[in-house]
Structure 1
């Protein structure tokens, strides 16, 4: 599959990893539908020009994501929806027991899992249904689904029970989904980023950011959103990448 002349749905596209991915795919000659809850998604689509459309949507809503998928299919014309890069998600921090021994809030835990894991499955199932209707390309390929996990799925830190569990679920879905959807010619991949320069990092104190940067073996800095976008582009264009989770983290192992 090539980026040029194909259409992709990007979730979490108003900023960070999703915004950078949309920019890269448009620069490569692709078309994109940007989906996000933020008002900023419309402004970002305008900056990208005629190759981009914005759809306001919640990844946990079947109706919202169906509308985004339908928009991408329409934008794709005869080619339909070629790929998805699912970047939408939330970070949450809460200990099982706080300093006073009070248990964590169950609703907050469920919200993290609902957005990060159930939301991922919602996007995947609706996009796959659309891709399965595409005419097969080289090797019978009809589409590619790229989900976003996290290194926290493998080495989560204290306070990350909800976040780590939700991202571990994304990892766990990758291989069975790839096996199931192979008969439709749809690939499934996941990227597990380390610590990246995204709006999620904006509330972290500077000294904490410096400590995180120092803990990366090489390069000793936070990842840049375009580095995520470059890997997503490589996954799109390399048909042998399937059923795998790729850590993109500079070698970091969280403590």
Structure 2
């Protein structure tokens, strides 16, 4: 089996960077995508940025990729989070799907979040699933104005989960032989997590109580990386449409 070509978004830092490093160490070719420090620089919060990603990845890959790992995301309570986490991710998956369809043993995976089972705003979720980006932005803006900014991130991830479950078994993906899945991490030890809440004892205690992880809090980034790599490997022969919780047991604790 020859070298496989993978596209990783959000590859400049965190889980995305660690995943890209892991694949490269395994001898694979990786096209790193991000807003900075990447092979392809594109802002997935905007339509022009999404178009740029598709066109540049098409050019540098010679129109063929074996795997797509959509990691790029944001947890900031802002309309940009909806634009990136949902609409940017969907645009990435859909625009690069033709490059997968023309390759050997194609696979795709997106990064979701355990937080999607903890809380969500139905207005945000419904606007996303209606593919109405401006309505979703308006719903996020209203939630933030009402002091409910923390609901934005899990809402966008829940919408992503629901979209992915439907898309994975559709003719465009399943009948084309492209497994599409998601990995939903719990709290793992990334720089972003440390900055946002792990370094603050009170916030850390609050988050750990909301998302209990019996195997340890926070979890290791390597656990997420290895799972992402497996989902897009040739070894994943028959799994699609799944949300894989890599969360130290949190989902099983919260939904026994």
Same-fold status (TM-score > 0.5): yes
Q: SS where residue 52 of structure 2 aligns?
A: helix
Alignment correspondent of 2:102: 133
Q: SS where residue 160 of structure 1 aligns?
A: helix
The structural deviation recorded for 1:188 is: 0.5
Alignment correspondent of 2:232: 236
Structure 2 contact 5–66 (Cα < 8 Å) conserved: yes
- Separation in 2, partners of 1:171, 1:178: 10
Residue 92 (1) aligns with residue 76 (2): yes
Alignment correspondent of 1:251: 249
Q: SS where residue 10 of structure 1 aligns?
A: strand
Number of residue pairs aligned between Structure 1 and Structure 2: 215
Deviation per CA, 1:225-250: give whole Å up to 9, x if none: 22111001121231122111101111
TM, length-normalised to structure 1: 0.76
Alignment correspondent of 1:58: 43
- Separation in 2, partners of 1:223, 1:67: 36
Q: SS where residue 153 of structure 1 aligns?
A: helix
The structural deviation recorded for 1:193 is: 0.8
Structure 2 contact 54–95 (Cα < 8 Å) conserved: yes
Residue 216 (1) aligns with residue 212 (2): yes
5 Å matches for 1:127-206? 127-134=96-103, 137=104, 141=105, 143-156=106-119, 159-180=149-170, 181-201=173-193, 202-204=195-197, 205-206=199-200
Q: 2:17 aligns with which of 16, 19, 38?
A: 19
Root mean square deviation of aligned Cα? 2.4
**Tell me, which stretches of 5 or more residues in structure 2 are unaligned?**
121-147
Alignment correspondent of 1:99: none
Q: 2:61 aligns with which of 49, 53, 73?
A: 73
Structure 1 contact 154–168 (Cα < 8 Å) conserved: yes
**Tell me, which stretches of 5 or more residues in structure 1 are unaligned?**
43-53, 94-107
Structure 1 contact 9–83 (Cα < 8 Å) conserved: yes
The structural deviation recorded for 1:197 is: 1.6
Alignment correspondent of 2:35: 37
Deviation per CA, 1:135-188: give whole Å up to 9, x if none: xx4xxx4x1110011111111387432112110111011222111211211111
- Separation in 2, partners of 1:151, 1:169: 13
